[in-house]
Amino acid sequence: MSHVTEGPRLPAARGPLSSAVREYLLGTGPLPATEAALTAPPYGDDLQLALYLCYELHYRGFAGVGADREWDPALLELRAALEDRFLTALREDTPVHDTVEDALAELLVEPVDGTGVSHFLRDEGELWHLREYAAQRSLYHLKEADPHAWVLPRLWGRAKAAMAAVEFDEYGGGRPDRVHARLFADLMTDLGLDTAYGRYLDAACAETLATVNLMSLLGLHRSLRGALVGHFATVEITSSPGSRRLAEAMRRADAGPAAAYFYDEHVEADAVHEQVVRHDVIGGLLEEEPHLAPDIAFGIGVTGLLEDRLGDRLLGCWRAGRSSLRTPLDSGSAPIQPIFS
């Protein structure tokens, strides 16, 4: 008998695909035919949650689900179909850059009149906006650095050494109290949110799931290692200015010292990381494998695509005076396992 994990509870289904995956994980129903995945809306709640459930088996799993489900052949076959549907849409919708340099140059230019989420939160965000933002982002930040760590065995030389150095910082430089996931949990505590891993999965919108699924997709496939490096570069290059605005938003709303500190830490750390990633991770990878240049550019572009989709969702709801969440913050499936005890 396989070991049954004690992770978060499985979330509620959002359609026939995610319902079937959920029931299969619990041993109470069959998986759908792979053809069902190939016709589902690629950015919709149902496909994104079904894919998230498959990917989460490679992280902490779910309560009541056997650990051997991670490599279940039938589930992997369905996951491949879900990935194909998602990745095909991403390739069709992502703007193409001629070179990696062009893609990076676009990231390095801050718009004069910014209209993104961090600008909104800094200038007019209220405490409830900040709480929703943290709840949405918790799906990534409570596993921060983990998806990117999968690329380490697929790099070598200068790129590997530089990537490992940045990841070492993300994991707190050997200090558990400085692990960035821990710092985000402290931020959530300041905002009165539950820090349990997976707590807000039911509440998160499809656009949030897609941003996290992208990292898992790129991290789990060696063939997409260049795109994962491009994703990583985008996160690190755009993090510092955005984090500065978010720190200001936390202070303006009097969210608490840990809430501001999380973003203050990223302002400093990611300004350094940006240089390392651009010159040593990307530069080193292109020296070893120059044919990966289009993949790196794709990784940069697709990250921006999904972040823009999420930003449009958040700002569209907030400017209309509505919540961006699918369920209120005080409801949903309470998980069993906290990220930190």
Please tell me the distance from the alpha carbon of residue 230 to that of residue 94, in angstroms, as a whole number: 13
pLDDT of residue 1 exceeding 60, the answer is: no
Q: What is the mean pLDDT of the chain?
A: 92
Is pLDDT above 90 for 334? no
Query: Rounded CA gap, 270 and 74, in Å?
Result: 40
Whole-number Å distance between alpha carbons of 286 and 276: 14
pLDDT band at 279 (very low <50, low <70, confident <90, very high): very high
Are residues 310 and 272 both part of a single domain? Answer: yes
Do 264 and 283 lie in one domain? The reply is yes
- 331: pLDDT confidence band, cut at 50, 70 and 90? very low
Residue 339: the pLDDT is 44
Structure-token match 């651009």, residue found: 278
**In this structure, what token pair is assigned to residue 336?**
């069993």
Examine residue 332 and state whether it is found in any structural domain, yes or no: no
Whether 5 is in a domain gets the answer no
**Average pLDDT value for residue range 1-17:** 80
pLDDT digits (tens, 9 = 90+) for 79-105: 999 999 999 999 999 999 889 999 998
Lowest pLDDT segment from 6-10, 156-160, 176-180 = 6-10
| Contact criterion met (CB below 8 Å) for 213 and 48 | yes
Please state, for a pLDDT cut of 70, what percent of the chain lies above it: 93
**Residue at 10 is within a domain:** no
CA distance 51 to 42: 10
Instruction: List the domain range (segments joined by +) for residue 123.
Output: 98-319
Q: Which amino acid is at 321?
A: G
pLDDT recorded at residue 111: 66
Instruction: Please give the backbone phi and psi of residue 76, each rounded to the nearest 5 degrees, phi first.
Output: -65, -35
Compute the average pLDDT of residues 127-141: 97
Do the domain assignments include residue 61?
Answer: yes
263 and 297 together in one domain: yes
Write b or e for each residue in 1-33: b if 16 or more Cβ atoms lie within 10 A of its Cβ, otherwise e. Answer: eeeebebbbbbebbbebbbbbbebbeeeeebbe
Q: Answer yes or no: do 219 and 243 share one domain.
A: yes
Give 220-259 pLDDT, tens digit per residue: 999 999 999 999 999 998 888 899 999 999 999 999 999 9
Evaluate if residue 44 carries a pLDDT over 80: yes
Residues 124 and 256 reside in one and the same domain? yes
Give the ranges where 110-252 is alpha helix by DSSP (H). Answer: 117-124, 127-141, 146-149, 157-170, 180-190, 206-220, 225-252
69 CB contacts (<8 Å, ≥6 apart)? Answer: 2, 25, 57, 61, 75
Residues 56 and 109 in one domain: no
Q: Are 44 and 158 within one domain?
A: no
Claim to verify: residue 155 and residue 176 sit in the same structural domain:
yes
Same domain for 182 and 48? no
Over its C-alpha atoms, the chain yields an Rg (Å, rounded) of: 19
Kindly state the percentage of the chain with pLDDT values over 90: 84
CA distances from 252 to 122, 124, 197, 340 (A): 8, 9, 27, 28
Predicted pLDDT at 262: 95
Instruction: Output the DSSP codes for 146-157.
Output: HHHHTTGGG--H
- Judgement on whether residues 83 and 159 belong to the same structural domain of the protein: no
Q: What is the pLDDT of residue 115?
A: 83
pLDDT of residue 179: 94
Q: Which residues contact 248 (CB under 8 A, 6 or more apart)?
A: 122
Instruction: Give the number of domains in the chain.
Output: 2
| Nearest residue to 86 via CA among 41, 148, 140 | 41
Q: For residue 336, what pLDDT is reported?
A: 32
- The answer to whether residues 30 and 177 belong to one domain is no
Q: Do residues 310 and 164 both lie within one domain?
A: yes
